[in-house]
Structure 1
Amino acid sequence: MPTTVPGHPEDTVPAHTEDAADRRAALADVTATDAALRRFLHGLPGVDAVGLQERAAALGTRSVKTTAKAYAIDLAVSMIDLTTLEGADTPGKVRALCAKGANPDPTDRSVPRVAAICVYPDMVATAKDALAGTGIKVASVATAFPAGRAALPVKLADVAAAVAAGADEVDMVIDRGAFLAGRYLAVFEEIRQVREACARADGTAAHLKVIFETGELETYDNVRRASWLAMLAGADFIKTSTGKVAVNATPPVTLLMLQAVRDFRATTGVQVGVKPAGGIRTTKDAIRYLVLVGETAGEDWLTPEWFRFGASSLLNDLLMQRQKLRTGRYSGPDYVTVD
């Protein structure tokens, strides 16, 4: 099992260690052929959709107040991948976002830093320079994000460029068309090759987050299959969404993915992180997800090493709610910057 020590995500021993590789190798027969992989994925227990939704709804009613709420807010801030993924992104906008991630509230230095800043590959060098010395990771989307409609060599070049520019983490998108057509081994091989492209010259590797775009996967059973497929292929994180489609992260889907990483660790000894992304905008939303993590996967996942929020606007609401707890009043939306 990967070892973690207190502190920032850089203190994590990555999931791609020799021990983890050996454990994954024990499942090599599962991925030896397309037929074997299909048998395994379709042999996973079917998802009780009603039960899953009811469980997610019930956990969403948990009340978290006062001291526990203050702790949850700070934890959520520390788990954010603060994101800008727009065609109009500029170096100035990226530097401003990095400054906000490093010092979310200039009036209160006790606010934690965010976990990462997530940008397009061409902005990685700018973010890396702006975040020097902060300990904040630079994450880069790649593989022809968000649609993933490109030839594999193009996708691998996209990843290699991001890593060469200094990306600490790579967020790839799976080929949903191939997955929905049942071409599971093709998806597996693409993830595996992207993982190899995350390698650096010094022998280390950028962490790989695999995005499913769950809003396009049609069924909960497909989400479970995609989760296991990505983990078998070597994902360090599994991620719900790009944030670029109508349906992004939802509590039931995230609950299902948390069950998958819990069961995968029980089977292989390998711990994999989870990242819901898209549509998580309020403190209430964030706390609901933290309850899902604690009640489903367990406390081992309640750290930035193993759980992230992909968000662009969540941080502002967390800061306003934090200020309300601290002072007893809201300062209004002008208390935070508009990104």
Structure 2
Amino acid sequence: MSGSQLVHPARERAVAILGGDPDDATLRRYLHGIPGVDAVGLEQRAAGLGTRSIKTSSKRWALDKIIELIDLTTLEGADTPGKVRSLVAKALRPDASDPTTPRVAAVCVYGDMVPHAVEALGAAHGDPDDGLVSVAAVATAFPSGRSSLAIKLQDTADAVAAGADEIDMVIDRGAFLAGRYGQVFDEIAQVKEACARPDGTSASLKVILETGELNTYDNVRRASWLAILAGGDFIKTSTGKVQPAATLPVTLLMLEVVRDWHRLTGQRIGVKPAGGIRSSKDAIKYLVTVAETVGEEWLQPHLFRYGASSLLNDVLMQRRKMASGHYSGPDYLTID
């Protein structure tokens, strides 16, 4: 993921799909031509996916898989290099008493903390698909997204130059809700260009929709399509600073968009629910939803992540209970 080769410019692909330049009028015609969301049906599907039974042998696998897909996060104004070093230590050895515990996928920090994360990771810094740990940086005036495009692009370029493997950008929700789709497209496309490295590779771009501010499922679907059309490698629910953050119906909807995009283009796009996922019980529901909607092949770090700061602690607790024979976690999962 951290060394993915640059693809053709998003604009060229979008023109082919849209049948015209990605301006406000063309994007509005395309996005508003997408069928509306059946809210009741979506919520019923999400509820049903959380009640599947599993074999006991799958529970340990599920807990380990959740750990492998976590972006361990600290995004506070009071963050310090020492706090980031502690976060990295937790990422590398989540359970100091059990060396069989897998590493998390990434640590997610503000851009100015990237050098400290890279230094602390040392030789363990790299592609999580290879068992290493990536560095993700939030950028583009996170969490509000309210700054000039020049500042957003510099913010991104600085983080990539400092060693960030992944950029989590925020869209301009005000522009999206006002129907300025061309502006949102251009910002995402230019931020993706700012993810480029001198060696011809690119940092992966996660596009945060901040679904809690988009008001409707239809808007979430349109914003998901827009982010992918503009070149996003991942679509992400939330900054974690706005409520509601990640919800299962919204994540299901975004996974359905990713599934439909794959059917249309053959390209696989990642999904990252972030904010509010605190228990292994809830996290397993997301595993089920991914497997049932886009397939088990998406259950790897370059295609699915949890944005979380407290989830890991609960998963570790349930993992220890399993080891002692006192596991009391969920009894449902479809993957066997």
1:36 aligns with 2:32: no
Alignment of 1:125-136 (within 5 A): 125-134=115-124, 135-136=132-133
Is 2:156 the partner of 1:166? Answer: no
* Correspondence for 2:176 among 179, 185, 205: 179
Partner of 1:143: 140
Check whether the contact 1:241–1:278 (CA below 8 A) recurs between aligned residues. yes
Pair 71,38 (structure 1): closer, same or farther in 2 beyond 3 Å: same
Assess if the C-alpha contact under 8 Å between 1:30 and 1:40 holds in 2.
Answer: no
1:96 equivalenced with 2:93 (yes/no): no
Contact 2:211 2:237 in 1 (8 A): yes
**Candidates 188, 193, 197, aligned match of 1:196:** 193
Q: Which whole-Å deviations, capped at 9, do the CAs of 1:77-110 have from their partners, x for residues lacking one?
A: 0000000000110100100000100111111111
Identity %: 65
Q: Tell me the distance in 1 between the aligned counterparts of 2:14 and 2:262.
A: 11
Q: Secondary structure at the match of 1:218?
A: coil
What 5-or-longer segments of structure 2 have no aligned partner?
Answer: 125-131, 328-336
Aligned to 1:270: 267
2:214 to 217, 235, 246: 217
- TM-superposed CA distance for 1:132, in Å, is 1.6
User: 1:281 Cα shift?
Assistant: 0.3
SS in 2 for 1:210: strand
Per the normalisation by structure 2, the TM-score is 0.92
**C-alpha distance in 2 between matches for 1:30 and 1:61:** 44
The alpha carbon displacement at 1:30 in A equals 4.7
**1:274-325: CA deviations, max 9, x gaps?**
0000000000011000000011111121111100000000000000101111
Q: What residue identity is the alignment partner of 2:217?
A: Y
Letter in 2 for 1:140: A
Is 1:156 matched with 2:153? yes
Quick one: structure 1 residues 196 and 19, their matched pair in 2 at CA, closer, same or farther if it must change by over 3 Å? closer
User: In the aligned structure 2, how far is the partner of 1:92 from the partner of 1:46?
Assistant: 48
Contact 1:23 1:269 in 2 (8 A): no
Does residue 286 of structure 1 match 2:276? no
| Residue from 28, 32, 36 that aligns with 1:46 | 36
The residue number in structure 2 matching 1:304 is 301
Residues 303/21 of structure 1: CA separation in 2 closer, same or farther (3 Å cut):
farther
Structure 1 residues 296 and 30: CA distance shift in structure 2, 3 A: farther
Whether 1:27 and 2:17 are equivalent positions in the alignment is: yes
Tell me the secondary structure at the aligned position of residue 132 of structure 1: helix
Query: Who is 1:121 aligned against?
Result: 111
**1:174-205 deviation digits (Å, cap 9, x = unpaired):** 00000000000100000000000101111111
Q: Which amino acid aligns with 1:182?
A: G
* CA distance in structure 2 between the aligned counterparts of 1:194 and 1:309, rounded to whole angstroms: 22
- Give the CA RMSD over aligned residues: 1.7
Which residue is 2:311 aligned to?
A: 314
- For the residues of structure 2 that align with 1:18 and 1:245, how far apart are their CA atoms? 34
Deviation, structure 1 residue 33: 2.7
Alignment partners' CA distance in 2, 1:263 and 1:162: 32
Q: Distance in 1 between matches of 2:148 and 2:12?
A: 30
Aligned residues: 320
Q: Choose from 54, 58, 72 the match for 1:68.
A: 58
Residue 196 of structure 1 aligns to a residue whose secondary structure is helix
Report the CA distance between 1:28 and its aligned residue: 5.5
Amino acid at match of 1:319: L
2:333 maps to: none
CA distance in 2, matches of 1:139, 1:83: 9
Q: Kindly indicate whether the alpha-carbon contact (under 8 Å) linking 1:31 and 1:185 is maintained by their aligned counterparts in 2.
A: no
Instruction: Give the match's secondary structure for 1:114.
Output: coil
The 1:290–1:30 alpha-carbon spacing in structure 2 relative to 1, beyond 3 Å, is farther
Q: Where in structure 1 are there 5+ consecutive unaligned residues? A: 1-8, 331-339
The verdict on how the C-alpha distance between 1:281 and 1:131 changes in structure 2, with shifts beyond 3 A counting, is same
Q: Residues 273 and 307 of structure 1 are in contact (CA less than 8 Å); yes or no, is this contact kept in structure 2?
A: yes
What is the alpha-carbon distance in structure 1 between the residues aligned to residue 303 and residue 292 of structure 2? Answer: 15
Residue deviations 1:219-264 (CA, integer Å, cap 9, x gap): 0000000000000000000000000012100000000000000000
After TM superposition, give the deviation of residue 61 of structure 1 in Å.
1.4
